[in-house]
């Protein structure tokens, strides 16, 4: 009875000592930098609309959903989260007592002389014990480890969300590129048909002696240049389609089309919000901070390893050489032990291990700050990119219209003999290039909205 009171007293003292948690307390690192967006977006703090509300193209919406459901990298990230959650549960279990059991039975024979030197056991033996063991977390080693595991799990979740943002943005970018390639292919085919007609007309004129062979050959050259671009674009279409299908977890093949880039309706009125909101809205920043916090907690684990550990062990059960006396009071076994163990002198090893964890934490602080700086830079560039691409696209449309009219005038001048066919060639190339550039600029303008949304952390 006296022994039981001592064990209870030690247990109470141990529970009281759990308030002696060592190690630093985490706080978010300082990220005070002068944020001055060039485009002055204002301080709208409303939440971002969801990706599916941003894009009105139902085919694109379907592709985005397919990517979110079937992308293998995203599935890997989800499995990584479950792994981190399981690890967190394993670490947390160390906070509580462990209950085990031991069962054994057997026997043998040994002479008296052999028994004197523990050379064997003479007779039978039956054991059945319940074992309790508990390392009291006096200095917070287990609690720090548990917090680190939870932070790692949260970091994995944020990494998956960051991957979602990247995948959605990449899906939209590839889709707009695909529709741009479709448009460029139509421009090339339309130009080819026009140049075939020019070649036919000039060939007839050459055959009747109205024009020189040079005009005919120049027309053939223009036709071949337009024709050569078509297979080049077709290769790019196949490459882009396959890239989209791989993201959706599909094999190679063709893809359905939705709206053309000219019909896409994406609002430019995206709430950018205060710079401080970016710290909690971008999943890559949150992931970096959670990784930092996990490493910060490991300093506490290393600190706790410098102090003694206190554990309790209890054993309750029965032991007897015979089954008839196994469950009686004479076979009852009840033992309890308290253990105290700790380092005395290890040449500063534990102290150095604390320093190792501190330096690793310092590295992650710099990485976190770098992630924040990069995020601010992404937003600033994306805002500027959208504004300038809107302006550029308007000028490209003017360029196309002017080139088209210039070609019509040049053809008229040539037909009436006021200029050479070289002027027509120049204007044909000018219109062809202008149409291709206008299509590409439109695609870049659409992608600028994608990049801005990605820079802001996406919307769900």
Per residue in 163-178, pLDDT tens? 998 999 999 999 999 9
**Lowest-confidence region among 37-41, 82-86, 407-411:** 37-41
Give CA–CA dist 26/150, Å, rounded: 14
pLDDT of residue 400: 96
Say which CATH architecture domain 20-95+138-306+351-455 belongs to: Up-down Bundle (1.20)
**Lowest-confidence region among 115-119, 191-195, 366-370:** 115-119
| Paired residues of 101 in beta bridges | 130
Give CA–CA dist 40/151, Å, rounded: 35
342: confidence class by pLDDT, cuts 50, 70, 90:
confident
177-225 per-position pLDDT tens digit: 999 999 999 999 999 999 999 999 999 999 998 889 999 999 999 999 9
Domain boundaries, the chain: 20-95+138-306+351-455, 97-136+308-341
In this model, does residue 134 exceed pLDDT 70? yes
What is the average pLDDT score of the chain? 85
Q: What are phi and psi of 223, to 5 degrees?
A: -65, -45
**Lowest-confidence region among 22-36, 253-267, 329-343:** 22-36
In this model, does residue 413 exceed pLDDT 90? yes
Mean pLDDT for 444-458 is 88
pLDDT of residue 321: 74
266-303 per-position pLDDT tens digit: 765 665 555 667 777 889 999 999 999 999 999 999 99
Give CA–CA dist 26/362, Å, rounded: 13
The larger pLDDT score, comparing residue 42 to residue 223, is at 223
54-98 per-position pLDDT tens digit: 788 999 999 999 998 999 988 998 898 898 889 888 888 888 888
Beta strands, E only, 72-153: 98-108, 123-136
Give CA–CA dist 420/413, Å, rounded: 8
In this model, does residue 52 exceed pLDDT 80? no
The larger pLDDT score, comparing residue 324 to residue 45, is at 324
pLDDT of residue 43: 46
Global pTM value: 0.83
Q: Does domain 97-136+308-341 bear CATH number 3.90.1640.10?
A: no
Cβ atoms of 233 and 177 within 8 Å: the answer is: no
pLDDT of residue 45: 42
In this model, does residue 355 exceed pLDDT 50? yes
In this model, does residue 123 exceed pLDDT 80? no
Q: What are phi and psi of 404, to 5 degrees?
A: -65, -45
Element spanning 309, H or E: strand 309-320
In this model, does residue 46 exceed pLDDT 50? no
Task: Tell me the three-class secondary structure of 219-238, residue by residue.
Answer: HHHHHHHHHHHHHHHHHHHH
Percent of the chain at pLDDT exceeding 70:
85
- Side by side, the strands of the sheet bearing 123-136 are 98-108, 123-136, 309-320, 332-341
Give CA–CA dist 430/424, Å, rounded: 10
Cβ atoms of 22 and 297 within 8 Å: the answer is: no
Give CA–CA dist 443/440, Å, rounded: 5
Q: What share of the chain is helix, strand, coil (3-state, %, to 5)?
A: 65, 10, 25
């Amino acid at each position: 009875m006296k022994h039981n009171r001592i064990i209870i007293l030690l247990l109470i003292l141990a529970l009281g000592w759990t308030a002696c948690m060592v190690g630093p307390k985490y706080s978010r690192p300082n990220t005070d930098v002068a944020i001055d967006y060039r485009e002055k977006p204002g301080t709208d703090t409303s939440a971002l609309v969801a990706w599916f509300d941003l894009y009105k193209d139902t085919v694109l919406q379907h592709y985005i959903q397919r990517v979110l459901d079937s992308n293998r990298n995203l599935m890997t990230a989800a499995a990584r989260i479950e792994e981190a959650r399981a690890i967190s549960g394993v670490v947390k279990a160390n906070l509580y007592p462990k209950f085990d059991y031991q069962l054994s039975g057997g026997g043998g024979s040994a002479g008296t002389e052999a028994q004197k030197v523990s050379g064997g056991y003479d007779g039978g033996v039956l054991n059945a014990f319940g074992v309790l063991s508990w390392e009291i977390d006096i200095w917070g080693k287990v609690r720090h480890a548990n917090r680190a595991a939870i932070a790692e799990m949260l970091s994995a979740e944020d990494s998956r969300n960051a991957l979602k943002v990247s995948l959605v943005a990449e899906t939209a970018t590839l889709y707009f590129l695909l529709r741009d390639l479709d448009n460029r292919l139509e421009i090339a085919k339309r130009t080819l048909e026009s140049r075939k007609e020019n070649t036919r007309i000039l060939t007839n004129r050459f055959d009747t002696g109205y024009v020189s062979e040079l005009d005919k050959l120049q027309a053939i050259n223009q036709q071949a240049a337009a024709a050569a671009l078509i297979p080049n674009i077709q290769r790019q279409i196949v490459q882009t389609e396959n890239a989209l299908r791989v993201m959706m977890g599909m094999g190679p093949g063709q893809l359905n089309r939705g709206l053309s880039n000219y019909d896409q309706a994406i609002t430019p009125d995206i709430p950018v919000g205060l710079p401080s909101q970016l710290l909690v809205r971008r999943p890559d920043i949150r992931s970096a901070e959670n990784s930092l916090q996990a490493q910060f907690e490991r300093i506490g684990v290393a600190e706790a390893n410098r102090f003694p550990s206190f554990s309790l062990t209890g054993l309750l059960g029965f032991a007897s050489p015979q089954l008839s006396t196994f469950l009686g009071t004479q076979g009852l076994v009840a033992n309890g032990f308290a253990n105290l163990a700790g380092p005395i002198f290890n040449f500063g090893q534990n102290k150095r291990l604390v320093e190792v964890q501190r330096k690793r934490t310092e590295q992650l602080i710099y990485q976190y700050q770098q992630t924040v700086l990069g995020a601010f830079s992404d937003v600033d560039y994306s805002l500027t990119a959208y504004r300038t691409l809107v302006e550029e696209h308007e000028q490209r449309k003017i360029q196309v219209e002017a080139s088209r009219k210039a070609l019509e005038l040049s053809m008229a001048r040539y037909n009436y003999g006021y200029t050479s066919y070289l002027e027509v060639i120049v204007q044909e190339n000018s219109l062809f290039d202008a149409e291709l550039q206008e299509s590409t600029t439109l695609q870049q303008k659409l992608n600028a909205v994608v990049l801005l949304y990605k820079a802001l952390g996406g919307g769900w």
